[in-house]
Structure 1
Amino acid sequence: MKWARNTDGDLAEHWLVAARRDDQPLPVTVLAKWRWYKRYSQRAKLWYGSMEGLAIIASAAIPVAAAADAAAPVIATLGAVVLVATALRSTFGLNENWVEYSQIGYAIEREAALYVTAVAPYDTADAASVLVVRVEALAERGGRQWAGRRMGLENPQPPNAKPDPATPPLAG
């Protein structure tokens, strides 16, 4: 088994795809969740890096354009590019998504490694069911965290705002 290079989005060579326990592959839902998190972490990383790089390059070009006596529309366009790239990165939470999706993908890999080696809590007869439940819990937590970030963008709270006592805190 090889570790996937994950540069082209092809996860077919990753050890998790070939992992087996008692000559049975990992449950389909576990592999599907893992693939989703790996692909979307790669996508978020690419978009985050692209927007960040674009903002840096355009920012650096503004003083150069001004020193070269470029036309005002050129300088204004560079400023607009910086603004749009930064806004897209922030609005879509590209860095947060990249980090969170990567963490969940690695957590699923950890659970799969414990399952394949029959280590607790996977040392029982219902180990496959336990794996599915634990992976679904990871995905649910990730979904709640993502939704919480989206709701925070729509309803920003002042820095000193106290949480609504009727709303339970997100589990971490």
Structure 2
Amino acid sequence: MLTTTRKNGEPIPDYVRRTWDWYARRARASRWAHHGLELVNLLMASAIPATLALGLPPAIAAVLGAGVVLCGGLRQIFDWHQNWIRFAQVRSEIEQQVARFGAGLVPYARAEAADRALVASVNDIVQADLAGWAVRTRTRPLPPEAEQPGA
């Protein structure tokens, strides 16, 4: 949980609270999406041999198999697991800076400059996250079927 005040009772800057809240919500949503997708995928995959063993029509197993493939595609497209880790890490880094701010530690020791220093630190954390995201997005390999023929 985020400490929302300094030692002297002053609240943290609104930008910091809103940024932390955004990353906390995204981490939670990505975690739920990741776990939900994995659960659905596991249930469908394990149901395939069960449907065949029970003598149900093979079409049911085929639809379940298509669902497993769909889950794999969704996992690749949305990358909820990686996003969950990324958002939680940024949230934690913001919490560390807010804790230092709350305790009045360097670089937040001078009260008159503490707010600006905290906003700058949080902005640096966010910019580093965005830069890392951009690099990962640009360097993500294409699936084999998306490669150009003869390339």
TM-score class normalised by the smaller sequence: 0.7 to 0.9
Secondary structure of the 2:33 match is helix
Counterpart in the other structure of 1:86: 72
The one of 107, 110, 114 equivalent to 1:127 is 114
Aligned mates of 1:75, 1:126 — CA distance in 2 = 64
Aligned mates of 1:88, 1:113 — CA distance in 2 = 37
Specify which structure has the higher proportion of helix. 2
Q: Spell out the pairing of 1:62-141 with structure 2 (5 A cutoff).
A: 62-124=48-110, 125-141=112-128
The one of 27, 30, 34 equivalent to 2:20 is 34
Provide the TM-score with structure 2 as the length reference.
Answer: 0.86
AA matched with 1:132: V
Q: CA deviation at 1:15?
A: 4.4
Structure of greater relative contact order (alpha carbons < 8 Å, 6+ residues apart)? 2
Higher mean displacement: 140-149 or 63-72: 140-149
AA matched with 2:115: A
The one of 115, 120, 129 equivalent to 1:142 is 129
Secondary structure of the 2:19 match is helix
Q: Could you tell me the percent identity over the aligned residues?
A: 25
Aligned mates of 1:142, 1:151 — CA distance in 2 = 14
Asked whether the equivalents of residues 52 and 86 of structure 1 are also in contact (C-alpha less than 8 Å), the reply is no
Asked whether the equivalents of residues 51 and 86 of structure 1 are also in contact (C-alpha less than 8 Å), the reply is no
Counterpart in the other structure of 2:45: 59
Structure 1: tracts of 5 or more residues without a match: 1-13, 158-172
Q: Size of the alignment, in residue pairs?
A: 143
Counterpart in the other structure of 1:162: none
Structure 2: tracts of 5 or more residues without a match: 144-151
Q: CA RMSD in A?
A: 1.9
Provide the TM-score with structure 1 as the length reference.
Answer: 0.76
AA matched with 1:114: R
AA matched with 1:47: A
